[in-house]
Amino acid sequence: ERVEPFAKILGLDYISNGAKPLKKGYQRCAQALNIPCEQLCMVGDQLFTDILGGNCAGCKTVLVSPIQKEKMFFFRIKRALERFLFYICPKKTANSIIHLDKE
């Protein structure tokens, strides 16, 4: 229900219930497209699910800013931890993640 509206606007197919950060969702997508995971690119706004899962599956990854602020306490804590980890991670790792901010 969250992915479908974006996919329709862009005219794209999508895989739902990807079980991120597990590899199986990425593998299902690669299989559906008949390409290896290395040719996929995961675009997401969460380090612990989107980026971690994409990297573990061998995909390219693009970290984007969230569309809206998280309201639930758990997600606000997770976002703070993500910012901290991104700040302290080795420069090589940080540079390997494309990070797009809203303008």
pLDDT per position as a tens digit, 17-35 = 888 889 999 999 999 999 9
pTM recorded for the entire structure: 0.68
pLDDT on residue 36: 96
Q: How many domains does the chain divide into?
A: 1
Q: What's residue 73's pLDDT?
A: 78
63, β-bridge pairs: 44, 99
Structural domain for 37, as ranges: 3-100
Instruction: Give me the pLDDT at residue 99, please.
Output: 58
User: Which pLDDT score, from 0 to 100, does residue 24 have?
Assistant: 92
Enumerate residue ranges in the chain where pLDDT < 50: 103
Q: Is 72 helix (H, G, I), strand (E, B) or coil?
A: coil
Residue reference for tokens 């996929």: 40
Residue spans of alpha helices (H) in 34-72? 52-57
